Structure 1
Amino acid sequence: MLKNHINLKAVLYAAIMVAAMWLGYLLQQLGWFSGCSGAIIPLSPYGLKGIFLSPFLHGSLEHIFGNSVPVFVLIFLLYQFYPFIARQILFLGWILTGFLVWLLPPIDIYTGELNHVCIIGASGIVYVLAFFIFFSGVFRWNMKFLTVSMVVALYYGSLIWGVLPEELFSQLPEPSRVSWQSHLSGATIGILMAFIFRKSGERKVKYIWEFPNYYSEKDDKLWQEYKENHPEDFLELPYKKKENPWEHLDEIRKNQ
């Protein structure tokens, strides 16, 4: 029964992405990626490769655990409900978000000084998918997609606060290590793609009875009920038999 409703490819792709993230974390622990290797370093040519590699790298177990569940859930929802455009959304969102993060100067919001930062983690992808799925349902105004949007808003609505620097909400003893630039970039790209792709893939089905001039007797239940309860009103009505002039030929001749 579930196989008829759940896209197994959606589960597979989500699992592959999470597995790749954990493989990247394992390679980090083995010393394959150390320091800023594989990270996005804003405005540095050396940091461009981080656009592709940074989602697989994480700073701690807490960091990768925090990203694994939303990445799995959101990729599953993307491929389950947007299978025709899921690949474009995932990879375009991934690349564009990473590039936008690379373009944003890492400015300290209090001192205005440029900081040398190395940005890793899959949170940018989380924000791309969460904001795409939510706003795609809104822009399409389709009941099925709106329902998915509400589910995302219910579980991940608090993500909205992540697009702002953490220092604005609490006094921190040291600068926050959370990359609000990744969150803001992902949210922006997600909303833009939801708008651009709003007419792509599955569309809202418009049934014939939704057209203003449509009328079908079969869909008029009151009329059908009346016909069932009053069959005598629909018997064939008596009519006058059409006369045949050849039967009155003699009479016609006499009158002439």
Structure 2
Amino acid sequence: MSRDEVRGLAREVKSQVLILGGFVALMWGLEIVDIFLGGTGRTCRGLNQFGIFPRQLAGLWGIFFAPFLHGGFGHLIANTIPFVTLGWLVMLRRTADFFVVTLVAMVVGGLGTWLFGAPGCHIGASGIIFGYLGYLLGRGYFDRSFGSMLFSVVVLLMYGGLLWGVLPIRVGISWEGHLFGFIGGVVAAWLLSSGSKKRVYRE
């Protein structure tokens, strides 16, 4: 590897750290502010009032706000580690993929939750986290390359246990956000796959 390639790789890694660090800093900063506004626990007070409220017009704003809001530091800590880990795995091929997958998972997951979610406020980054998982698993299927399929298998072995989160088996957990976030990640995998691009070019 040449010196220029090493420098380019170092810049790429630095960019990835700054991006993930910025997202995490935003989540933690908002949670600190939320404490001073009276938002404690998984309630709809404080900043959490900007979460997703299914089938309420005002709740549509939560599609873009809810992923950055959490029901206390325990909730935030539980989401921070998989967000950073899976988010970085999404960046491995192209850093720009992170933004595409995040946006698609946010919109598809948020709209699905708004349309079909249980009453109440839905908050947290877990929908995006499941979007990252859906993307990482779907990429192997849509790319059909040995490397991508092997990578998806490794991710499945490491994080496959998260898939139970798309089922309504735990009270108080937005399984709808998990499910539709995962679907959004699969959609992003299709959009970013080499096979999808080849079909578009042929047209």
SS in structure 2 at match of 1:81: coil
SS in structure 1 at match of 2:49: coil
Residue type of the partner of 2:14? L
Q: Which of 56, 60, 63 does residue 68 from structure 2 map onto?
A: 56
Distance 1:57 1:45 in 2: 19
Distance 1:29 1:142 in 2: 47
2:20 is the alignment partner of 1:8: no
**Aligned CA distance change for structure 1 residues 137 and 32 (closer, same or farther; 3 Å):** farther
Check the 8 A contact 1:82/1:202 in 2, yes or no. no
2:124 is the alignment partner of 1:121: yes
SS in structure 2 at match of 1:136: helix
Which structure has more relative contact order (CA 8 Å, sep 6+)? It is 2
Give 1:177 deviation, angstroms: 0.8
Give 1:200 deviation, angstroms: 7.1
Partner in structure 1 of residue 86 of structure 2: 74
The structure with more helix, counted as a fraction of residues: 2
Partner in structure 2 of residue 43 of structure 1: 55
Residue type of the partner of 2:172? R
Check the 8 A contact 2:50/2:65 in 1, yes or no. yes
Q: Which has the larger radius of gyration?
A: 1
Distance 1:164 1:105 in 2: 13
Partner in structure 2 of residue 187 of structure 1: 182
TM-score of the two chains, using structure 2 as the length reference? 0.81
Partner in structure 2 of residue 97 of structure 1: 109
Correspondence 1:15-30 to 2 at 5 A:
15-30=21-36
Give 1:83 deviation, angstroms: 3.1
Distance 1:31 1:20 in 2: 16
Aligned pair count reads: 186
TM-score of the two chains, using structure 1 as the length reference? 0.65
Correspondence 1:157-196 to 2 at 5 A:
157-167=160-170, 176-196=171-191
Distance 2:13 2:145 in 1: 20
Q: Which runs of 5+ in 2 are unaligned?
A: 199-203
SS in structure 1 at match of 2:26: helix
SS in structure 1 at match of 2:16: helix
Distance 1:23 1:38 in 2: 16
Check the 8 A contact 1:17/1:72 in 2, yes or no. no
Q: Which runs of 5+ in 1 are unaligned?
A: 107-115, 168-175, 204-256
The alignment's C-alpha RMSD in Å is 2.5
